[in-house]
Structure 1
């Protein structure tokens, strides 16, 4: 595979792999002893979380303006609202706990949870639409990838990146998105097929 042809696979596979690796070290609870790492961890992955919303659009690009705009909008909603969760419950709560303001963490956790739920649901919808359309246009080769991204996005909604379930969800997303790209690429190479996914 040419280096340029590998770009889409890295684009959809690398962010969830990074989040899975970070999730293995994510503290299960915010305490005085974990507060500094909790805060710094969320600062470190602040720019990684939004990248998850790019994968559904990349899978569906070239399959019609309506679908592209729909999953693009859902991806944007995910990125905006889930970033709010990361900032509030991650960076903010960690900073407050570190400064001995533990009582205030309940407020930012609650706000972050509510906003993050909007983003997580948007990602589940985007992943489901991308999976269904991929199966409809590519056929059975797309089924494993579609199942993985839907289950992975649901696990992300439920457990974020916490080990082990959240980490497993990120691994499902990484493998699923790459599998959908491979299925689409194989379909474009089949005799008489029309291209649906282009290499970046």
Structure 2
């Protein structure tokens, strides 16, 4: 059971790291189709990082775990805004217009503004999750918590862009998997 939960917890980070290999670093006419189509495929995946936090915290009732859950929700909402505006919207408009138009810059800026709230909320969620799980599972959870929180830091700026963002996603996968494996079974 713990191994299947660990695999489930690691999956979103692994999928996002792989997707990061294909994510263009710049939005241009040439990259626009890949840009917006990739964001459509990732639309249901990014919120799953918040779902991982909910999975890891199952059964927890303390206030720290509720801070983590609420912050994970805020992340999922605001990061989805980035995906829709700067990912799908800006990419699609660039693709269909055959080049950059002023609205594209606006979509990118608005999406990035929303993402700022989302990634900071994710960092708060990661820290609160680490605290709650170390309290619950003791020293066994420390390595996973450290990796999970440390991997959330580069997510603030690098998103899933390789190499930093992709490695951040792999770190989130490893940390989440380790936290799932460290779970103490209820007596």
Is the structural similarity TM-score above 0.5?
yes
Q: CA deviation at 1:140?
A: 2.1
Q: CA deviation at 1:6?
A: 4.6
Partner of 2:52: 55
Is 1:27 matched up with 2:34? no
Partner of 2:93: 96
Partner of 1:120: 119
Per-residue CA deviations over 1:2-54 (Å, capped at 9, x if unaligned) read 5xx55422331111110100101111111111000111010111100010001
Partner of 1:86: 83
Partner of 1:153: 152
Q: CA deviation at 1:137?
A: 2.6
**RMSD of Structure 2 on Structure 1 (CA):** 1.7
Length, aligned pairs only: 185
Partner of 1:69: 66
SS in 1 for 2:60: coil
Q: CA deviation at 1:141?
A: 1.8
SS in 1 for 2:151: helix
Per-residue CA deviations over 1:76-113 (Å, capped at 9, x if unaligned) read 11111000001111001101111225122110111001
Structure 2 unaligned residues grouped into runs of 5+: none
> In 2, distance between residues paired with 1:72 and 1:181?
16
> In 1, distance between residues paired with 2:32 and 2:55?
36
* Over 6 Å off, 4+ runs: none
Partner of 2:5: 8
Partner of 1:175: 174
Per-residue CA deviations over 1:148-176 (Å, capped at 9, x if unaligned) read 11111111121000000000000000010
**1:14 and 1:174 in contact (8 A); partners too:** yes
Structure 1 unaligned residues grouped into runs of 5+: 189-194
**1:60 and 1:67 in contact (8 A); partners too:** no
> In 1, distance between residues paired with 2:179 and 2:16?
20
SS in 2 for 1:139: helix
> In 1, distance between residues paired with 2:39 and 2:60?
35
> In 1, distance between residues paired with 2:27 and 2:110?
16
User: Taking structure 1 as the reference length, what is the TM-score of the superposition?
Assistant: 0.86
Max radius of gyration: which structure? 1
> In 1, distance between residues paired with 2:104 and 2:160?
20
